[in-house]
Amino acid sequence: MNQTYRYILTGVFLLAATAFQLSASSAEATFGLAAQLLPVEQTPDTTVKIPYPIPVDDGSPNYQIDNDSPLYLSDPPNIKREIIYDPVTRQYNFVSTVGGFSYRTPTPMSQDEYMEYQNRKGVKKYWNQRSS
């Protein structure tokens, strides 16, 4: 009698497991078919080209010369920018540090580019003095 109940329970369990498996596979087929039949929603393009773009400070020294308007905030006092000359490569490296930690990739300049940078900086300073 115990063995009969065991066989009946095993049969019921196997029948329930099979029914569950069949319903799960048919649901996948239904959802898969529904996904193929429904139109795909396309997200609208929300990028807008603004008429007056704000330049991004990439650490380049030319950024400081070209964008000295009060609209573009200046660096806070804890950001230090310095120029380091490397005699091995004969390049000038512009380094931005915060508390002694370099937070940006150094921007290298050749000697000719550095001289042009110094010239532009001097001309800008001269005209600022003349205008005030």
DSSP conformation letters of 66-132: H--STTSPPPPTTEEEEEEEETTTTEEEEEEEETTEE-S--EEE-HHHHHHHHHHHHHHHHHHHHH-
Whole-structure pTM value = 0.56
Give the pLDDT of the chain (132 residues) as one tens digit per residue. Answer: 677 878 787 877 777 777 766 665 554 555 555 556 656 677 777 888 888 877 777 778 878 777 777 777 788 899 999 999 999 999 999 999 998 899 889 999 999 999 999 999 999 999 989 988
End-to-end CA distance of the chain: 110
Q: Phi and psi dihedrals of 28, rounded to 5?
A: -60, -40
